Structure 1
Amino acid sequence: MTKNIFLILLLLFSKFCVIAQNKEILFEESYTLLNSMSDNESNYNFKKAVFSVENAYLDDNLDTTFVYKQIKLLHGLSTAIINSKTLNYVERDKDIVNKRASIFSILCDTIPVDVNGKMYKYEPFGYDFNDVFGHKMPENLFVSKLLSTHKGNCHSMPYLYKILCEEIGIDANLALAPNHIYIKHRSIKDGWYNTELTSRIFPIDAWIMASGFVHIDAITNGVYMKALGNKESIALVLIDLANNYNTKFPKNDGAFILKCCENAIKLYPNFASALILRAETHYKQIGKIQDKVKQDSLFKDLQKEYEHIHQIGYRNMPEDMYLNWLVSLKEERSKFENKKLNTFNKN
């Protein structure tokens, strides 16, 4: 009897190991895809990058049929908006600006929709203040969750905006602020301007500075307020993959995390989140080393990592202060809104 119980436990343990290994393979496959996009620009596809990360965390259970159908519907709505409305904008890049405005409307505006002569009201996406950092459930940061609930945050909403822009054939630059992602665009008439989806306005740069956690060195070094290119956007997704892996496999040895971090840093050298995650992973690894001499030597190297993060201008912003800062943008709209962009109002 004892022998039989032992065999049953052994089989169960083996089955558990196989399942865990299969789950890890999904993360490796996602990493391979992201790596191919960073190595070869012709492989770039932000939509596929984002959903590969979400699918890995969801154990290959992402409803891709649903999310792709939703994106197709939003693409169609964008086309309808572009064909039915124009902007008070006459420069030669007006077609691009009009397309951007259509995506902004999809995320931020209530839109009347005529379906076979019957009018419906399209409701915009809203901000979800529940678990905005994904501490309880990483899924709260997912674009698939945003598409399913129409509620998102400063992670999922800019990602969806960029996906939809690329679906209609235009670029969108993600940009970073403390604990935050937003959009930066450039037009002939207005130069660089900010698009803030969570508060649905076009804020001036002073809004970022008002957080109190943006050192001038962070701006100079591209830690914050930089218009990120496609490769740098893939760096953001690589760190999403690493963070999801950490959540899914909390007792990992750090090897996969560091692989993601190193590639992300290669694509975006002053990406603070990647530098911090690499340092934190090194710290965990060093703590397991028994050789005191080796441990002390590695701690000196780790100190240099943290010094570098400080030197490029990164400052930690407490989460409660971030939420207060985010709310202040809506409450002090007149103070931070870019008045030049009133031409983005529809006729």
Structure 2
Amino acid sequence: MRIVVAILLILPVTFSFAQLPYSPISKSISPQPGVPSDPNGQLRMGATANDILRQTNQNNIYYGTSNDPANNQRVVQAMIKEKMAKDPAYSSGSQNSFQINKQQELFNLLKEIAGQDMNRAPGTVITPENYSSDEFGLKTKSYTDALQVLKDMLSDKRKLSVSDAYFIMENAYGDAYLTQKEFKGIIKESADFIREWILQRNLNIKDNTVINYGVQQFMGERLNITTSKQRTDGKQSLETITHLPFKYDFNDYTGDKDYRNFSLTKCLATGTGQCNSLPAVYLSLIEALGGKAYLAIAPQHSLIKYPDKQGRMRNYEPTSHWDITNEWYLDNMFISAQAVRNGIYLNPIGGKQMIADIILQLSFGYFRKFGAADEKFIVDCINTAKPYFPKNNNLTLYFTYSNLYSYELAQVMRKNGINKLSNINQSSEAQRLYNKWLENEKIISQLGYQDQSKDMYEEMMKYHEFRNNIQQEYNFNSKEKRNLFIK
């Protein structure tokens, strides 16, 4: 978790690689200890737009006077802008004024890396000398094969498909909720349903705004279509097919207990997801219907962008079934002016950039199971994805670099018996890696990335924990397979 460490108690920067408790990571909340970043390169994913609004304004006595989220937004708008105007970290043209203790940040990273082998999935711990063995090659084959398929999409050797790319990436990790046949079957059945729903309302199936509207209604509302069915006596009868809306899964939405909770296949199989998997479902359905839509990133969050009839880019929240303006995100998610200028947030990602982003997600699953190993796979993912972000403003890449440099530094420190950051200068290689890490962190800061305060983050967790209790109270198991189609 990237946090403003100035608000934490500063611990002595010394530790043992042998026995070490887990502590939060900077930059992101890992799916489990030892994983440097979630699939979007942000800290814990999953909050809905309304959740962020709610916890941001928890102390405002006027918030919540209306059940209309848009009206709630207007009520608190002036207060939020006033707070941001007084905060130099978010004022126009400023640099991040928080004095981050970089040694403490790195200390937290190294502690997590030191605990990787103890916490990684059983049976996957490999010693360094075995990384080139046939045994390790067999264990990691699903990942090397998946990366090659994604590379083929980028080089036009294979048809580019966002839904296929998601499945390939998730299937590499193993134990997917759906087989490829099941996955493709649900996508087709869903797309056929949406297409028929649009046609039965005499809407233009070739209009991109209509296609996006259809997908939005499909994901957020209970919909019905009427079809003709042949009876056993040979006569035709009408049949009503109902599709239930997707639900937000508050139970382990960060993937701490089960990494698959991030996945598109889990969302399709159970009808429940969060802000990583629900947008993935949306993009897959748009692709199946021949429409256009894009992924976009906000702090702790991902969302959908799509062009309307006038060519304007609109935003849609699959997590809360909202159509929200950029101004809402700027005001309520505290995106700095610097971050806007550099385009690290709210920029549409599609086409080959989307495949490149999925390649980075592929590396996260690899890291969860095998760590960085000999680093070749992680570096290959970075080098493959990087050219598709020519503005050098993809935060995920820089977060991955920082975690990789930290991993390398941890190995050098272990090799040289260094257990204090203050003794890094005892090894020229350790000092070199530390400097590389600092340089990369400087780039992240210059792009306008802001660490989220610990208090704000903890309040959001308390709120989600409350919502999770509601799910349990109603005996709602968000991890079980269920068919959202009722015939």
TM-score range, shorter chain: 0.7 to 0.9
Aligned residue in 1 for 2:248: 127
Secondary structure of 1:112's counterpart equals: strand
* 2:445 corresponds to: 310
Instruction: Give, in angstroms, the shift of residue 285 of structure 1.
Output: 0.7
> Which of 161, 177, 181 is matched with 1:45 structurally?
161
**Amino acid in the other structure paired with 2:298:** A
Give the match for residue 203 of structure 1. Answer: 324
| Superposed displacement of residue 141, structure 1 | 1.0
After TM superposition, the structure 1 stretch with the greater mean CA deviation from structure 2, 246-255 or 198-207, is: 246-255
Question: Larger helix proportion, structure 1 or 2?
Answer: 1
**Does residue 1:144 correspond to 2:265, yes or no?**
yes
Query: Pick from 109, 134, 139: which aligns with 1:23?
Result: 139
Structure 1 segment 238-257 matched on structure 2, within 5 A: 238-250=359-371, 252-257=373-378
**SS of equivalent residue, structure 1 residue 202:** coil
- Aligned equivalents of 1:43, 1:325: Cα separation in 2: 43
Distance 2:397 2:219 in 1: 28
Distance apart, 1:19 and its partner CA: 6.1
> Does 132-141 or 316-325 show the bigger shift?
316-325
CA distance in 1, matches of 2:198, 2:244: 18
| Alignment partners' CA distance in 1, 2:304 and 2:153 | 21
Look up the SS of the partner of 2:269 in the other structure.
Answer: helix
Give 1:118 shift. Answer: 3.6
User: Residue 113 of structure 2 aligns with which residue?
Assistant: none
Alpha-carbon spacing, 1:325–1:235, altered in 2? closer, same or farther (3 Å): farther
Once residues 335 and 284 of structure 2 are traced to their aligned partners in structure 1, the CA distance between those partners, rounded to angstroms, is: 28
Paired with 1:230 and 1:142, the residues of 2 have a C-alpha distance of 20
How far 1:212 sits from its partner (Å)? Answer: 4.2
Matched, 1:76 2:192: yes
The residue aligned with 1:219 is 340
Cα distance change of structure 1 residues 51 and 170 upon mapping to structure 2, 3 Å threshold: same
Structure 1 residue 22, shift from structure 2 partner: 2.2
Cα gap change, 1:231 to 1:111, in 2 (>3 Å): same
Could you tell me which residue of structure 2 aligns to residue 182 of structure 1? Answer: 303
For each residue in 1:233-260, what CA deviation from the matched residue of structure 2 results, as whole angstroms up to 9, or x when unmatched? Answer: 1122112111111111136233322221
Cα distance change, pair 147–62 in 1 and its aligned pair in 2 (3 A): closer
Q: Do residues 297 (structure 1) and 409 (structure 2) align?
A: no
| Residue among 114, 126, 129 paired with 2:226 | 114
- Tell whether the 8 Å contact from 2:176 to 2:260 is kept in structure 1 after alignment: no
How has the CA–CA distance of structure 1 residues 248 and 42 changed in structure 2, closer, same or farther, with 3 Å as cutoff? closer
| Alignment correspondent of 1:280 | 403
Q: CA deviation at 1:20?
A: 4.9
1:39 Cα offset (Å): 3.0
Residue aligning to 1:3: none
Aligned AA (2:224)? P
State the Cα distance separating 1:210 from its structure 2 match: 3.2
Instruction: Supply the distance in 2 between the matched residues of 1:162 and 1:152 (Cα, whole angstroms).
Output: 14
**Cα distance, 1:304 vs. partner?**
0.6
1:301 Cα deviation after fit: 1.8
Choose 261-270 or 36-45, whichever is displaced more.
36-45
The 3-state SS of whatever aligns with 1:43 is: coil
CA contact (8 A) 1:23 1:59 kept: no
Give per-residue Cα distances to partners, 1:204-263, cap 9 Å, x unaligned. Answer: 112212344412222222210001131221122112111111111136233322221232
Q: CA deviation at 1:47?
A: 1.4
Q: Could you say if the C-alpha distance between residues 142 and 301 of structure 1 is closer, same or farther in structure 2, counting changes exceeding 3 Å? A: same
Q: Structure 2: how far apart are the matches of 1:238 and 1:128?
A: 25
Gaps of 5+ in 2: 1-129, 230-237, 417-425, 465-487
Q: CA deviation at 1:320?
A: 4.3
Q: Alpha-carbon deviation of 1:75?
A: 1.0
Q: Deviations over 1:48-71 (max 9, x none)?
A: 111011110016885111111101
Q: 1:61 to 1:94 in 2, by over 3 A?
A: closer
Do 1:265 and 1:274's aligned partners in 2 also have CA atoms closer than 8 Å? yes
**Change beyond 3 A, Cα 1:200–1:260:** same
Alignment of 1:89-108 (within 5 A): 95-108=207-220
Contact kept, 8 Å, 1:253 with 1:285, in 2: the verdict is no
List runs of 5+ in structure 1 lacking aligned partners. Answer: 1-13, 327-347
Q: CA RMSD in A?
A: 2.8
Q: How many residues align?
A: 309
1:314 Cα offset (Å): 1.3
Bigger shift: 310-319 or 268-277?
310-319
- 2:171 aligned with 1:55, yes or no? yes
- Alignment TM-score, normalising by the size of structure 1: 0.81
Does the CA-based 8 Å contact 1:242-1:256 persist in structure 2? yes
- Alignment of 1:85 with 2:201, yes or no, is yes
